[in-house]
Amino acid sequence: MKGMWYLWNKSRLILIMFACLVFLSGCWSSRELDELGIAVALGMDKTEEETYALTVQIINPSEIAAEKATTRPPVTLYKAEGETLFEAFRKMTKTAPRKIYVSQLRLVVIGQSLAEEGVLPALDLLYRDPEFRTSFFMTIAKNASVEDILSVITPYEKIPANKIMETLTAAQENWAATEGVYIDQVISDIRSTGKSPVMTGILMKGKEDIGNSIKNIEYLDAPTRLEIDHLSVFKDDRMLGWLNEAESKGYNYIAGNVKSTLINFPCKEEGSGRIGVELLRTNASMDAKMKKGKPVISVDIEAEGNVGEVECQIDLSKPETLQMIAQKTEGDIKDKIQASIKAAQEVYESDIFGFGNAVSRKAPNYWKKVEKDWDAHFVDTEVKINTKVNIRRKGTNVQPVQKEG
């Protein structure tokens, strides 16, 4: 028997048979793209019966990529309740036609009641399940239920979750009163004794009843809108309340999150007209020192700005004027920082700035003593604020347009 088979000796045959075994596993865990329910936003809250209410926003790919306008909504909402989040997830298959695929999650919205009760237990699933990527923003539903917020159909951006994520990023980069927080940061802040977490809030504005209908985007000015609001203050994993805009900005200055923002102040003590300064770069550093057995925190902010808008008659060619503008800008930054520290120390008694971490690095021995009840010490910790602003440019116009002569 010469020929091809002659060449295949026994061991080779056995090897090939083993190689074939491998293929018996079939296409295990393979999923076609059209079998996936791609979830972009996830909402969690507690119901009155103490169960988890899970809301998932799933995209409808053919509507989003459609070349022609359709009348079907680009996303769909599925809801389920369960004793645990995982149970709720699996129960969702009772209503959803496809298995929920969460890798592309952009946004998690936490209901206010769950936030006030403590978010940590609910975060375990999001952190443990391998399918979750940790690149989604954590937010809090401020004035509406999670479900209502996730069912708003947004104009301009077809996927509401994307809209929120992009608004959040844009606002963070250009306005600096919000902060997009990822889950790993939330968890590490909660578990850290020297820092408490903050999360951005989402607000629903306008008529609530139109928001979840495609009608919402048929108007030029959408009746229901989603807005990114200021920061919520947490202590451990429980939400205590909200910072206002100035306090939120103050927080971001300290945290070094300010990339660019706008500051404005009146030209003179009395009279109308304001000056707007565009901050381009800020550099924040935080340090702790021990003074008489007590920690003193110093916060240094260095910023660079442009004169963006001048509404009054001042002589911008004089260096004194620029110096005045720089000083007033420094004052404004300082005010906001002080306001945020005041809110954290007096209202919420929660160290959202991470002063505790700074102390632990500089004075580890002292830290060991106060670690257990740091928040009590935090309340009356002295904070020194140094700000330094350089005004670099004045734009294309040397003098204000109103200036005579």
Partner 1 sequence: MRRGKKKTTIDDIQLDSTLSKLIDGSLEVNLTVIKKILGDASDLVIRRMTLNNSNNLKGAVLYIDGLVDKTSVQDFILEVMMVEVPPEKISLAHVYEEIKNSALPIGEITETNKLDDLLLRLLSGETLVLVDKETQALSASTKGWKDRGVQETTSESVIRGPKESFTETLRTNTALVRRKIKDPNLRIDAKKIGNMTVTDVAVLYIEGTADESVVKELHARLDKIDIDGVLESGYIEEFIEDPPYSPFPKVYYTERPDSIAGGLLEGKVAIITDGTPNVLLVPALFVNFMQSSEDYYQRYDIGTFIRLLRLFSFVIALFMPSLYIAITTFHQEMIPAPLLINLAAQREGVPFPAFVEAVLMEATFEILREAGVRLPKAVGSAVSIVGALVLGESAVQAGLVSPAMVIVVAITAISSFVFPSYNMAIPVRMLRFSLMILAATFGLYGIILGLIALVLHLCSLQSFGVPYMSPFAPLVPKDQKDVLVRFPHWGLLSRPSATSHKNEKRTNGRNQSKGGSK
Binding site for partner 1 (CB under 8 A): 22-23, 25-27, 29-34, 36, 38, 40, 59, 61-62, 64-66, 101, 103-104, 106, 131, 133, 159, 162
What pairs with residue 303 in β-bridges? 282, 389
Residue 18: CB minimum distance to partner 1, A: 14
Q: Which is nearer to partner 1, 159 or 258 (CB)?
A: 159
DSSP string of 45-58, one letter each residue: EE-TTS-EEEEEEE
Nearer to partner 1, 31 or 361 (CB): 31
Least distance (Å) from partner 1 to the CB of residue 32?
6
Q: Which is nearer to partner 1, 134 or 402 (CB)?
A: 134
Asked whether 242 and 179 are in contact (CB, 8 A), the reply is: no
Question: Residue 158 and residue 146: Cα distance in Å, rounded?
Answer: 19
Residue among 26 and 319 whose Cβ is closer to partner 1: 26
Report CA-CA distances (Å) from 258 to 244, 278, 353. Answer: 16, 12, 14
Q: Which spans in 257-348 are helix H?
A: 319-342
> How many CB atoms lie under 10 A from the CB of residue 223?
17
Token pair listed for 143? 């004035």
Q: Are 58 and 97 in contact (CB under 8 A)?
A: no
For residues 401 and 405, what is the distance between their CA atoms, to the nearest angstrom? 11
Q: Tell me the closest approach of the beta carbon of residue 102 to partner 1, in angstroms.
A: 9
At its nearest, how many Å lie between partner 1 and the CB of residue 131? 7
Output 34 or 269, the one with its CB closest to partner 1.
34
The HSE-up count of residue 14 (CA atoms within 13 Å, CB side) is: 3
Type and span of the H or E element at 234:
strand 224-235
- For CA atoms 265, 268, 274, 280, give the dihedral sign: negative
349's tokens: 């008694």
Rounded to a whole number, what is the distance in angstroms from the first to the last CA of the chain? Answer: 111
Q: How far is the CB of 31 from partner 1 (least distance, A)?
A: 6
Residue nearer to partner 1 on the CB measure, 6 or 23:
23
Closer residue to partner 1, CB minimum distance, 8 or 219: 8
Closer CB to partner 1, 165 or 277, in the complex: 165
Show Cβ contacts of residue 261 under 8 Å, excluding neighbours closer than 6 positions: 174, 175, 176, 177, 249, 278, 279
CB of 30 to partner 1, least distance (A): 4
Kindly state the smallest distance separating residue 324's Cβ from partner 1, in Å.
47
Shortest Å distance, C-beta 358 to partner 1: 36
